[in-house]
Amino acid sequence: MKRLCALLVLIVAASSASCAAPRMPLYRFDSFTTANGLPDNHVFSVLVDGDRIWAGTENGLGVYENHVWKTYTTADGLAHRAVLSLALDKRTGDVWAGTMGGLSRISGGRVDTFTQLNSGLSNDVVYGVSVEGENVWVATAAGACRLDLHTGQWALYNERNTPMNEIWVYGVDATPTKVYLAVWGSGLLEFDQKTGKWDKYDDPDGENEMVLFKDQGLIHEIVTSVSYVDNIVWAATYFGDSRYDGRYWHNFLTKDSGLPSNFTNQVKGLDANRAWFSTDKGLAYYDGANWAVYRNSLTTGTPEMTVRDAQGKVTAVAVTTAPAHNYVLGIDFQGDDIWVATAKGLSHGIRQHEGK
């Protein structure tokens, strides 16, 4: 009888363990607004540069260092007050800022600006920028372009020499082997650095907001962001998200995943299995099987974290803080910590470890 009772205890314990929510990253969020030095509460982009944090806002470029904010404005040479995108040249330490009025480079405190009038920039509205080696790739409202920092020469990419139909390029991710363009209404474009050839990935349903062919291709033609890591492409759209391994597609929708919303502003892949999604209803993390969502409750406005396991079970995790706003536009990483750009402030997510 004792053996039977012990066996029952073990079965119950195992059952309880199997039902427990997957362990997902837990953060304490501290937020910055204009009240403590942020140039503007509407933050389009964030960039981690060692101990410095850059924030592209609607009213200037802010840099946070030694607990103090400094702001670059048009008076300092910034192309435009609205800074949409940021990229770091790890070789030189230069920061590139894509704005509503051109592309600016911040180097040692000096600001140099490139526009349609003084350079080969294809358009002054710069949605995305990515640095790869001596090349700066730029996504604009009129196609993409590439600046060779060694020669100073520009190359333009539009409907004339690439497969894109629309020329609104919303994002770019450049690596030594591949360059990917996220194009509004024209899908995902791939450039092979070795062969110089372009390829295009479309939604098999066309511009249909209904997903007729699940996992048969790109989720939608309106692509807002792309991230290429470990030979995996992560693509964000306003109607869901996609993962592509070079052979198979896997699509994510709110109805069959842990995405808080199909409307995604940015995706950032960590590796072949893990990615972060910045949506209009909160920040989401995917570890290859399970999901975590960080936001303020849509009903009560109080901070919440939820975890969805691979079987679809959702568990609430007790938290006291959340990102500054649910409309998340971008994210970057500082060690175990995360920085989150939102429509109403910039948040620093400080990783909480067990026992602390």
CA-CA-CA-CA torsion sign (306, 335, 264, 286) = negative
Entry pTM: 0.92
Quick: pLDDT tens for 10-58. Answer: 333 333 334 577 999 999 999 999 999 999 999 999 999 999 999 999 9
pLDDT in the model for residue 7: 36
Let me know: does 48 contact 348? Beta carbons within 8 Å. Answer: no
In Å, what is the CA distance from 114 to each residue of 4, 11, 50, 99? 77, 67, 26, 10
Let me know: does 233 contact 244? Beta carbons within 8 Å. Answer: yes
3-state helix, strand, coil split of the chain in percent (to 5) is 10, 50, 45
DSSP state for residue 141 in the 8-state scheme: B
DSSP 209-273: SS-SSTTSS-S-S-EEEEEEETTEEEEEEBTEEEEE-SS-EEEE-GGGSS-S-S-EEEEEESSSS
DSSP state for residue 125 in the 8-state scheme: -
Indicate the helix (H) or strand (E) that contains 56.
Answer: strand 52-57
d(CA 227, CA 268): 6
Let me know: does 272 contact 230? Beta carbons within 8 Å. Answer: yes
DSSP 274-338: -EEEEETTEEEEE-SS-EEEEEE-TTT--EEEEEE-TT--EEEE--S---S-S-EEEEEEETTEE
pLDDT, block means (10 residues), the chain with 356 residues: 38 42 94 97 98 98 97 98 98 98 96 97 98 98 98 97 96 98 96 97 74 80 97 97 96 96 98 98 98 97 97 97 98 98 98 73
Q: How far apart are the first and last CA of the chain?
A: 42
CA-CA-CA-CA torsion sign (225, 226, 229, 230) = positive
Q: What is the fold of 27-352?
A: Methylamine Dehydrogenase; Chain H (2.130.10)
pLDDT in the model for residue 216: 83
Quick count: other Cβ atoms within 10 Å of Cβ 23?
12
d(CA 8, CA 353): 33
